[in-house]
Structure 1
């Protein structure tokens, strides 16, 4: 049962718990160590170390639930998303470059499929964090000052009878949005309303198409030549 369902009628639902998003930050920190070193910006440990330091700072200044307003907390949250996105962008760009120009390390089908899957997962996580942190000004603002006109329209917001009173999306909802947008290459149940959100979702769809098509095409060629 969710916090919204536990909240008495007319009382503000409790803020989102931090542990869910933190668990996926740890996953994003693990991926560079599973990929070949050339897909990491700098060294395999550089960006994960920065992510870990920023996450630790966030847990210290705003532990438990994400409900503390302030410029410092907001700056740390944005910085974390930027680092995650930078790592995903570097890995995706490097993978596409290798597939277009050739690289000895992309000539084994099984290794290529594994690397492609990890890079694709990394981009899904990055866009999930991007949507979560920017929609409606971030989780703190969505809790304290929910907007009447959101950047993203979830089904529960379009038809409030589908959810408990005061329902608001949490990190997992944005991760699901990123996953479906990366597989369907278009909005599914969540509609982008703000122009910047439409641009972000379009960019993710294009990136996902490029990565998946190049990885699958090259893997099929490699398997066919064996």
Structure 2
């Protein structure tokens, strides 16, 4: 069965399934255990434990499809994204600091490349969750009260003829946005219309450039 919530049933579209986003939360929880401990705030299990607890709570209170409105459900969703973003921010800051100051963790090329790739992937996941949770008020609001003017304009919204009636972006669409913005350093197929979206995409592009350029430059220097 397709995970796309936009396949019409009659004249209505269904809410997004939770399992896809939950699977990528588990990926985000696993990354700190693959990195040196200094790239996690506190201990390497602190944020994964918080994320796991919040995710489990969300699955209990709003299982199946993401369609339950409410202040507490929204607060839990935002808390989960904040925890993921906090882990990515800490890891990125620590990596950049180590690269600029020549820490022992960045003196072996292979280890540096692996750590750099993991931290960079962590930022892509974090920004994917940020776009998903902030665009149009989040997945619940996008389903129950879709806005006339989107914060992020996907091709299927600009040209409705490209998709089935009732199409709305789901988590994978936002993750793809985060990935392309982190590699192209600019919008590709998704246009930021809201100011928060422009600022967030700008921050991600700058962060991605800094991480990739410093990691590659230092790795080339070590291998040379």
Q: TM-score category by the smaller chain?
A: over 0.9
Corresponding residue of 1:191: 191
> CA–CA distance in 2 between the matches of 1:51 and 1:36?
19
> CA–CA distance in 2 between the matches of 1:43 and 1:74?
27
* Shift in Å, 1:163: 0.3
Task: Compute the RMSD of aligned alpha carbons.
Answer: 0.7
Number of residue-to-residue matches in the alignment? 222
> CA–CA distance in 2 between the matches of 1:94 and 1:4?
41
Corresponding residue of 1:220: 220
- Deviation above 6 Å: which 4+ runs of structure 1? none
CA deviation vs aligned residue, 1:130-166 (integer Å, no higher than 9, x gap): 0000000000000000000010000000000000000
Corresponding residue of 1:165: 165
> CA–CA distance in 2 between the matches of 1:3 and 1:221?
48
In structure 2, the gaps of 5 or more residues are none
The TM-score normalised by the length of structure 1 is 0.97
* Shift in Å, 1:7: 1.9
CA deviation vs aligned residue, 1:171-193 (integer Å, no higher than 9, x gap): 00000000000000000000000
Corresponding residue of 1:37: 37
> CA–CA distance in 1 between the matches of 2:179 and 2:15?
24
CA deviation vs aligned residue, 1:16-50 (integer Å, no higher than 9, x gap): 00000000000000000000000000000000000
> CA–CA distance in 1 between the matches of 2:83 and 2:5?
30
> CA–CA distance in 2 between the matches of 1:74 and 1:114?
35
The TM-score normalised by the length of structure 2 is 0.98
Equivalent runs, 1:92-111 vs 2, <5 Å: 92-111=92-111
